[in-house]
Amino acid sequence: PQPPPSQAVRLESARPQRVRYLLVVRPEEADAEGQTVLLGVDFPHEGSTRCTLGMVLPLWSDTQVFLDGDGGFSVMSGGQTRIFKPISVQTMW
């Protein structure tokens, strides 16, 4: 089976050596609508081939996205709020 399509953006990290990504993963199947999830993935350093999964946030029908003035954004879904800050606004596009 093929992996689900995803999009990734590199995020700022509180620890300079850690490399963080936010992935949007959505299955390709037509009947899988509504099964989109945000994954937070951490690499211990640049070039590392090992990572840890730091966050899983399903996107429900109540999901709201808010843009911050500094290039960051927050996502509210299922009663949870998460704040993200890409390393640059250009990485979002």
The full length of the chain comes to: 93
pTM across the whole model: 0.80
Q: How far apart are CA 60 and CA 14, in angstroms?
A: 28
What band does 70 get if pLDDT is binned at 50, 70 and 90? confident
Q: Can you give the residue ranges of every domain in the chain?
A: 8-84
What pLDDT does residue 7 have? 86
Q: What does the pLDDT look like over 33-43, one tens digit per residue?
A: 668 899 999 99
Whether 8 and 20 have beta carbons less than 8 Å apart is answered as no
Q: In this structure, is the dihedral angle defined by the CA atoms of residues 82, 12, 73 and 6, taken in order, positive or negative?
A: negative
Q: What does the pLDDT look like over 23-69, one tens digit per residue?
A: 998 877 766 566 889 999 999 998 999 999 999 999 888 999 999 88
What pLDDT does residue 91 have? 57
